[in-house]
C-alpha cells in the first residue's frame, strides 16, 4: 500500500517542529521488543539537546523502524545494534549500525532497488521493498540515505535531514522522482 501511495503522490509529508530526542525515546520501546526477542544488545546515543526539526514524525519513524528492523533481522542473536542521533550545521544525522551479515560488495549498488534482496539474506523474511521505500521517504523530506557495509562485519545506514525545512505542508507530497522506475 505504501508503495502505491508514494507512486500516486498520495502519501502526504506534513512537517511539524519535532523534538527528535523525545520522539525517538517514545517510539523506541516498540523496536526494542524485537531486539530482546533475539537477545541483541541495543544502544541509543544522543546529545542532551537538539534543535526542533521540521519533519513529519510519522515518516521519520517509518524510515527508522525499517532500518532498525532490518538491523535486527540481519544480525545474529546476541549481536549489537545502535542508533545514534547527532547534529551539525543545519542537519540532523541518524545512524543505525549493526554487526550483522553485511551486504556483499558486488550487490551494494542495488540495495535501494525495488524488490532487491541480497544473496546472503535468503533465510530471512522480507519483500525487498523496505529500503526502496526508506530512500523515497528520506528524499521526500529533503533528506538523504546511504550506507557503508562489509560482508560478515555489519552495516551502517545514515539518514540526514535538514533541521529547518521551508516546505509548506500543502506543497510537499511524497512522490517517486521523475523518470524513476521506483515504487
pLDDT tens figures, 116-128: 777 766 566 777 7
pLDDT category, 76, cuts 50, 70, 90?
very high
pLDDT category, 54, cuts 50, 70, 90?
very high
pLDDT score of 168: 39
- C-alpha–C-alpha distance, residues 130 and 173, integer Å: 19
For residue 154, give the C-alpha cell.
555489519
Triad 56, 87, 14: Cα angle to 5°: 10
Q: Is residue 5 over pLDDT 80?
A: no
pLDDT tens figures, 143-166: 999 999 999 999 999 999 999 854
| Residue 140 parent element (H or E) | helix 130-140
Helix, strand, coil percentages for the chain (3-state, nearest 5): 35, 25, 40
H-state helical runs in 43-183: 57-73, 130-140
Amino acid at each position: 500500500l505504501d508503495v502505491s501511495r508514494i507512486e500516486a503522490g498520495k502519501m502526504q509529508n506534513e512537517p511539524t517542529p519535532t523534538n527528535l530526542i523525545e520522539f525517538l525515546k517514545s517510539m523506541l520501546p516498540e523496536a526494542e521488543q524485537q531486539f530482546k526477542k533475539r537477545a541483541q544488545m541495543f544502544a541509543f546515543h544522543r546529545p542532551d539537546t537538539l534543535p526542533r526539526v521540521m519533519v513529519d514524525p510519522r515518516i521519520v519513524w517509518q524510515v527508522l523502524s525499517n532500518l532498525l528492523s532490518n538491523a535486527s533481522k540481519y544480525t545474529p542473536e546476541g549481536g549489537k545494534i545502535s542508533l545514534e542521533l547527532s547534529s551539525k550545521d543545519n542537519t540532523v544525522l541518524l545512524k543505525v549500525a549493526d554487526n550483522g551479515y553485511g551486504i556483499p560488495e558486488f550487490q551494494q549498488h542495488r540495495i535501494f532497488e525495488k524488490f532487491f534482496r541480497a544473496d546472503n539474506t535468503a533465510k530471512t523474511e522480507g519483500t525487498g521493498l523496505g529500503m526502496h521505500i526508506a530512500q523515497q521517504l528520506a528524499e521526500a523530506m529533503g533528506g538523504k540515505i546511504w550506507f557503508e557495509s562489509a560482508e560478515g562485519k555489519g552495516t551502517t545506514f545514515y539518514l540526514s535531514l535538514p533541521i529547518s525545512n521551508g516546505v509548506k505542508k500543502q506543497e510537499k507530497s511524497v512522490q517517486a522522482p521523475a523518470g524513476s522506475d521506483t515504487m
